[in-house]
Structure 1
Amino acid sequence: MTCYCQSNKSFFDCCEPYLRGEAAPTAEALMRSRYSAYVLDKGNYLYKSWSQSTRPSKKSLKQGEPMQWQSLEIINTEAGGALDTEGVVEFKASYLVDEKTETLHEVSRFIKENNRWVYLDGNY
């Protein structure tokens, strides 16, 4: 099965190891795994992969309206490699809600906490 994050890799070789607890090697890999977590409604993973300084409550991560995530497009990345401590990933994610297609366009910031990439925040 092709990965939900549209990396053209299999889910087994792409996002699944991170969803099972392996540390993502780059900010982009973490961002892609978070997209897959949204597709699969894995709120616990989203919570754990969010910076302790900015993450919301677990309850608020439960999806309100049912969304069907459609696609992910990585537009740009800055830093966020294995030797970096900060990174930025700009992306567009499309989803279907109430039979209407919406697009989330975000520039996300990632940092390393305890030597693991985590989501810090994003600008829409």
Structure 2
Amino acid sequence: MSDRIDCPCGSDQAYAECCMPLHAGAAASTAEALMRSRYTAYVLGLEDYLLASWHRSTRPAALNLAREKPAPRWHGLKVLRYQPVDENNAFVEFVAKYKVGGGSMQRLRELSRFRREDGHWYYVAGEWST
């Protein structure tokens, strides 16, 4: 019997080896790694991490995830494209599946923009569709 907990980001790695180190303060090696860790943070309700990994120029004051009633339940992530622009800018396109309450499965498709500053990747903004 294994105590391994698969990472919610869909990387096929254990959470302890994938997104958990980033949630504990390690720097993401790529914008894709940061995006995956942010998805996992939404799954786990890690609002402080989401805000800390959001670029200061676009970061909201709060997310208030606990106030979302009913809260979305995340059911999977698929990275469609990872596109580095240069060493400090990149795009990640993904689809995330979720349900709200007893509703049907929904999907969020987003093209996210990331920027690296001082060795750390940050989420800047995204264009999304459902």
Q: Same fold (TM over 0.5)?
A: yes
Q: TM (normalized to structure 1)?
A: 0.93
Shift of residue 110, structure 1, vs aligned partner: 0.2
Give, in whole Å, the separation in 2 of the partners of 1:16 and 1:76: 23
Q: Structure 1: which 4+ aligned runs deviate by more than 3 Å?
A: none
Structure 2 residues without counterparts, runs of 5 or longer: none
Correspondent of 1:112 among 106, 113, 116: 116
Q: TM (normalized to structure 2)?
A: 0.89
Give, in whole Å, the separation in 1 of the partners of 2:120 and 2:93: 20
Give, in whole Å, the separation in 1 of the partners of 2:107 and 2:16: 27
Correspondent of 1:98 among 81, 89, 101: 101
Shift of residue 84, structure 1, vs aligned partner: 1.1
Q: Is the 1:85–1:111 Cα contact (8 Å) retained in structure 2?
A: yes
| 1:65-110 residue CA offsets vs partner (Å, 9 max, x unmatched) | 3111100000001017xx7100100000011102222111000000
Identity of aligned residues (%): 41
**Does 2:39 align with 1:35?**
yes
In the other structure, the counterpart of 2:73 is 68
Give, in whole Å, the separation in 1 of the partners of 2:94 and 2:28: 18
Q: What RMSD in Å do the two structures reach over aligned CA positions?
A: 1.2
